[in-house]
Structure 1
Amino acid sequence: MFINRPVTHGLALAVTAGAGALVLLTACGNGDGAMAGLVDTPSSSATSPSRQADTSFSDIDVMFARMMIEHHKQAVEMAELAETRARSPEVKDLAARIKAAQEPEIATMTGWLSEWGEPSASSGGEGHGMSPGMKGHGVPGMMSDEDMEELEAATGAEFDRMFLRMMIAHHGGAIEMSKMEQAQGATSRAKELAGTIENAQQAEIQEMQKLLDRL
């Protein structure tokens, strides 16, 4: 599926890191306990009076919103590259739809974090894809800086194939995070959005695979 060369080292690391993060997310059990290895103790509901007073969300919901915001931001960045670099009209159309769907979702999840009194991922000051409680853990499906630089340098048919391969892997990470939220999250709003993301991105993966097979 790759263009005239093996998978980039950065892309392989991104997929591996994503898988490792999901093991940490799901290996510790059900409910809030599943996040024990990822969420800092000071922010847990057991130690924060404000969290004790508001039981409508959990640490799982906060982690989902933080991770998915950073994940969506990178997808939007990739989609914006397609505006000037893609050759295929189908790839450009797909990228535009991804951007149109995910920007409002970023705004929605950012609003939740503000409502919950939780800092966003970007306000944590811990680097790309990182947030308070996430230090040392990758966001599933995220591309590395090297992958993004390679995508930015590509044009035409080369860009189209690279974009589709990377976005398929990227969507895979979002689907895994969405499944985790639906299984372990507390607030119906976040679980409903996770279901929407899973269904939409699974359909887009199928669409991208068909496009990739034709290029």
Structure 2
Amino acid sequence: MPASSRFRMPALCTILALSGALLTGCSDDSSADRSGATGTPAPTDSVPVLQPGRPGEPNKTLTGPALSPSSTPATQADVTFMSDMIHHHAQAVVMVNMVDGKLTDPEVKRMASRIKAEQTPEITYMKKWLKDNAGSKSSGHDHGGTHSATGKTDHSDMPGMASAAELKKLSKAKGKQKDITFLGLMITHHGGALTMIDDRYKAGGTDIETGRLANDIGAGQTAQIKSMAAMRKRLGGAPVSTP
């Protein structure tokens, strides 16, 4: 075989091999494009998702058809819960404002600040949810989200709400007694929120967003009740029962 042929053959083989690789690559890419495949697997119904359970009950694992978005509209129980919780949260914020700069214990001060920081944005969220979802349903309450410091409201029948006399006592308390009084009222108030959460479930609340918020409030306030009870005991206060 001539020398020139010996040099041309390897070169030709190399070109053919490269061409084949390029064609294979293009074929693979176009197949991926047609199938919609990407480097990250798309979510499937086989991937389990946790659904928050009722207060004190375990979460549920959802798979398959149970993961499909629900078209069920918010129920009256959901609307009532959101509307009432706005006012319930608002009184908690009022109580924090009443003791602002007047508490003596650093741990109690931090708890008061935390309660206000958590519940203020939740009020905003619930107002927006009502605007988007309430429709013709209403609990009969306005959604202003404010309470007077005297406790003269139309929502005193809600679980855990402080009465006018109790708020007056908080306002007059001095020194360590203000910390103890605040903790006692807030423990009862948080306990009322837990009752409202359970009432929503019993009344047939179905909205996913409302259920998620209720679960978050329940978990957070359950933990805070335990913390505040320990603080009150440390300061010399008597145990407080919750609704």
Q: Aligned residue for 2:171?
A: 152
Q: Aligned residue for 2:116?
A: 99
Q: Deviations over 1:160-189 (max 9, x none)?
A: 000111111000000111122245311010
Q: Aligned residue for 2:28?
A: none
* Contact persistence 2:92–2:189 (CA under 8 A): yes
What is the number of equivalent residue pairs in this alignment?
154
Structure 1 unaligned regions, length at least 5: 1-53, 131-136
Find out whether 1:164 has 2:183 as its counterpart: yes
- Which of the residues 125, 128, 146 maps onto 2:153? 128
TM-score, normalised to structure 1, is 0.66
Amino acid at match of 1:195: N
CA positional deviation for 1:79:
1.2
Amino acid at match of 2:180: R
Give the Cα separation in 2 of the matches to 1:182 and 1:60. 8
The alpha-carbon distance between structure 1 residues 100 and 123, as it changes in their structure 2 partners (threshold 3 A), is closer
Q: Aligned residue for 1:114?
A: 131
TM-score, normalised to structure 2, is 0.59
In terms of Rg, which structure is larger? 2
Amino acid at match of 1:142: M
CA positional deviation for 1:55:
4.3
Give the Cα separation in 2 of the matches to 1:157 and 1:102. 25
Structure 2 unaligned regions, length at least 5: 1-70, 145-151, 236-243
Q: Deviations over 1:5-57 (max 9, x none)?
A: xxxxxxxxxxxxxxxxxxxxxxxxxxxxxxxxxxxxxxxxxxxxxxxxx9420
Q: How does 1:1-215 map to 2 (within 5 A)?
A: 55-115=72-132, 116-117=134-135, 121-122=141-142, 128-130=153-155, 138-183=157-202, 184-215=204-235
* Contact persistence 2:75–2:205 (CA under 8 A): yes
Q: Deviations over 1:80-110 (max 9, x none)?
A: 1222221111111100000000001111111
Q: State the secondary structure of the residue aligned to 1:84.
A: coil
The alpha-carbon distance between structure 1 residues 70 and 97, as it changes in their structure 2 partners (threshold 3 A), is same
Identity, % of aligned pairs? 38
Give the Cα separation in 1 of the matches to 2:142 and 2:90. 10
* Contact persistence 2:127–2:143 (CA under 8 A): no
* Contact persistence 1:179–1:198 (CA under 8 A): no
Give the Cα separation in 1 of the matches to 2:186 and 2:154. 16
The alpha-carbon distance between structure 1 residues 113 and 83, as it changes in their structure 2 partners (threshold 3 A), is same
Give the Cα separation in 2 of the matches to 1:155 and 1:70. 27
Q: Which has the higher contact order (CA 8 A, sep 6+)?
A: 1
Amino acid at match of 2:81: F
Amino acid at match of 2:186: M
* Contact persistence 1:171–1:201 (CA under 8 A): yes
